[in-house]
């Protein structure tokens, strides 16, 4: 291994600490925004890595982290690479039962938690946890999990003191190869128990370097990170690209403060999901600033030069809005099982509606049934302790993504649906609901849509209105509504949505039309279990929770 060809994340880190020690690396906010150099970050990483070793963590041991984004999260992740631990990040919004499953299934030896709230979740499920696990909390608390007292990690680290950088890093780089297991991430999925995706250092490094190749980045570039680091999109495309490129990273305070954080730190780069970018576009349109020159750039801090969208399909009208306002919004595509990037757009290689072209050293092809297949250094090692599930998705070295799409003659990939989400009507018609839902949510009055129709004669939909836009439309049309509770049942409101739905689906076939719909008085959320952490629909959960509403639509024949 050479400095120019790193095999591991810890080698990337060692190179960065050697090359950029005095440069600004990280911005975080408590009372006010403060910066840290790479040297500052490195000292904290090495102190924590040394502490992990002192706790008995050996190379290959599994360490779980149940925390929202915060400074300690990324320090812990990098420290695990140095110590040789396998990181099992647990999504912060998960329930105690879900988190306990991942800790138990992975056989984690040590668990890091952020707050008393996360401790309480596990405490309520202590019977389902192994008895020999050690627990440490970032914020001090007096709670126990079963009969185990939780240690205060900050106090432990302060007492531990600084570590020898040269010895720790040198031994870590020497022992870590590309095939060394780095992390196990449990896929939220849409049905069934989560499966642990095993990603190697080779997976992560190859994907990281491919992610930064199309975009020139330097020490003055600043990326604002707000997507959950427990998901591989943010971990590879925010955290590890930051280390590899030597740029600056700012941790947003929360999902709700992103725009305010943009104004404060003035990012040049921003990764997000389509839902966020659509909200930004709608917010500008609602206040009639969308026509003002530079309005979008100003809203994002004034220095933004590039945004990247992933995790779900980006509506064409959102792409158009950003491009028209001088802010490139580029799509990529991938899965947890592919580390995650399979295809990526660039400023020089972008096509409306496409998710880019295959990244370097990655092959993509379309199976006879339309499924997207990929192979290369990005494909996972397999599912943890689940060879049968691994064999179902990796055949002859090709990862079967479960997504449906096509390649054009220039190699651009277009996603048209999810193989497992294909609706097959009772008349034998195959329909991709994701595509229809993306058409529906292009309408300013529709925030979310779920299309239903498997084994049914026709399609129906659950529609979540964009309530602020609906209120404005009701006022402009002077629709007389007796009370808030009557809005979604009002004949004129229902007629308005019927017209909008018909307009959005005017370009699809007759059997892809939504014949009936129900307006929801609430949205689908991660907290309700109806969205995954990357904001994909959990269709099975939605159909269970909304069974009566769905059956009522089909009972009206």
Distance between CA atoms of residues 439 and 329, nearest Å: 19
Sort strands 363-366 and 371-375 into parallel, antiparallel or unpaired.
Answer: antiparallel
Whose tokens are 């880190």? That residue is 13
> Where is 285: in which H helix or E strand?
helix 274-286
- Percent helix, percent strand, percent coil in the chain, to nearest 5: 40, 25, 40
Whose tokens are 């706790």? That residue is 55
Distance between CA atoms of residues 522 and 447, nearest Å: 10
**Three-state secondary structure along 433-494?**
HHHHHHHHCCCCCEEEEEEECCCCCCEEEEEEECHHHHHHHHHHHCCCCCCHHHHHHCHHHH
Sort strands 248-251 and 222-225 into parallel, antiparallel or unpaired.
Answer: parallel
> pLDDT (tens digit, 0 to 9) for every residue of the chain, 557 residues total?
335 679 999 999 999 999 999 999 999 999 999 999 999 999 999 999 999 999 999 999 999 999 999 999 999 999 999 999 999 999 998 889 889 999 999 999 999 999 999 999 999 999 999 999 999 999 999 899 999 999 999 888 888 766 666 788 999 999 999 999 999 999 854 345 789 999 999 999 999 999 998 888 999 999 999 999 999 999 999 999 999 999 999 999 998 999 999 999 999 999 998 889 988 998 887 776 656 778 999 999 999 999 999 988 888 989 999 999 999 999 999 999 999 999 999 999 999 999 999 999 999 999 999 999 999 999 999 999 999 999 999 999 999 999 999 999 999 999 987 777 778 787 677 788 988 999 999 999 999 999 999 888 899 999 999 999 999 999 899 888 877 678 898 999 999 999 999 999 988 878 889 999 999 999 999 888 999 887 888 888 999 999 999 999 998 66
Sign of the torsion formed by the C-alpha atoms of 84, 88, 91 and 92: negative
* Domains delineated in the chain: 9-22+32-176 (3.40.50.980), 209-372+400-419 (3.40.50.12780), 422-554 (3.30.300.30)
Distance between CA atoms of residues 214 and 50, nearest Å: 36
Q: What are phi and psi of 167, to 5 degrees?
A: -70, -45
Distance between CA atoms of residues 356 and 480, nearest Å: 47
Query: pTM for the complete prediction?
Result: 0.82
């Amino acid at each position: 291994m050479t400095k120019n060809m790193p095999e591991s994340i810890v080698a990337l880190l060692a190179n960065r600490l050697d090359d950029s020690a005095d440069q600004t690396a990280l911005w975080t906010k408590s009372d006010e925004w403060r910066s840290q150099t790479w040297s500052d970050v490195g000292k904290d990483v090495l102190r924590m890595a040394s502490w992990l070793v002192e706790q008995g963590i050996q190379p290959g041991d599994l360490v779980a982290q149940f925390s929202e984004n915060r400074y300690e999260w990324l320090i812990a992740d990098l420290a695990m690479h140095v110590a040789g631990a396998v990181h099992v990040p647990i999504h912060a919004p998960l329930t105690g039962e879900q988190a306990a499953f991942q800790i138990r299934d992975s056989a984690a030896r040590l668990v890091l938690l952020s707050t008393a709230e996360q401790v309480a979740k596990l405490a309520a499920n202590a019977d389902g946890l192994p008895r020999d696990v050690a627990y440490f909390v970032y914020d001090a608390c007096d709670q126990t999990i079963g009969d185990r007292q939780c240690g205060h990690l900050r106090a432990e680290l302060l007492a531990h003191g600084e570590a020898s950088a040269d010895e720790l890093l040198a031994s870590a780089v020497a022992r870590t190869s590309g095939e060394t297991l780095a992390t196990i991430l449990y896929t939220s999925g849409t049905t069934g128990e989560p499966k642990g995706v095993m990603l190697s250092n080779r997976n992560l490094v190859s994907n990281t370097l491919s992610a930064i190749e199309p975009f020139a980045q330097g020490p003055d570039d600043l990326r604002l990170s707000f997507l959950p680091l427990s998901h591989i999109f943010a971990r590879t495309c925010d955290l590890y690209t930051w280390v590899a490129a030597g740029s600056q990273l700012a941790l947003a305070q929360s999902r709700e403060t992103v725009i305010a954080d943009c104004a404060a730190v003035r990012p040049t780069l921003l990764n997000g999901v389509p839902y966020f970018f659509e909200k930004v576009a709608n917010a500008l349109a609602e206040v009639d600033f969308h026509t003002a020159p530079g309005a979008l750039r100003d809203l994002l801090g004034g220095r933004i030069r590039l945004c990247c969208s992933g995790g779900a399909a980006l509506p064409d009208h959102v792409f158009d809005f950003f491009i028209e306002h001088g802010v490139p919004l580029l799509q990529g595509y991938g899965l947890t099982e592919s580390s995650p990037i399979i295809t990526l757009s660039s400023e020089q290689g972008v096509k409306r509606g496409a998710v880019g072209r295959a990244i370097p050293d990655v092959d993509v092809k379309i199976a006879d049934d339309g499924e997207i297949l990929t192979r290369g250094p990005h494909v996972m090692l397999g599912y943890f302790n689940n060879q049968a599930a691994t064999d179902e998705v990796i055949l002859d070295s090709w990862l079967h993504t479960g997504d449906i799409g096509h390649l054009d003659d220039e190699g651009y990939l277009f996603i048209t649906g999810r193989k497992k989400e294909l609706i097959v009507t009772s008349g034998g018609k195959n329909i991709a609901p994701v595509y229809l839902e993306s058409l529906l949510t292009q309408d300013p009055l529709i925030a979310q849509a779920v299309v239903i129709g498997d084994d049914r004669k026709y399609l129906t939909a659950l529609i979540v209105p964009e309530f602020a836009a609906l209120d404005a439309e009701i006022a402009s049309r002077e629709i007389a509504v007796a009370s808030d509770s009557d809005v979604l049942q009002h004949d004129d409101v229902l007629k308005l949505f019927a017209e909008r739905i018909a307009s959005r689906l005017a370009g699809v076939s007759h059997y892809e039309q939504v014949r009936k719909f129900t307006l929801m008085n609430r949205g689908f959320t991660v907290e309700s279990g109806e969205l995954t952490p990357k904001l994909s629909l959990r269709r099975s959960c939605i159909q269970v929770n909304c069974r009566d509403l769905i059956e009522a639509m089909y009972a009206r024949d």
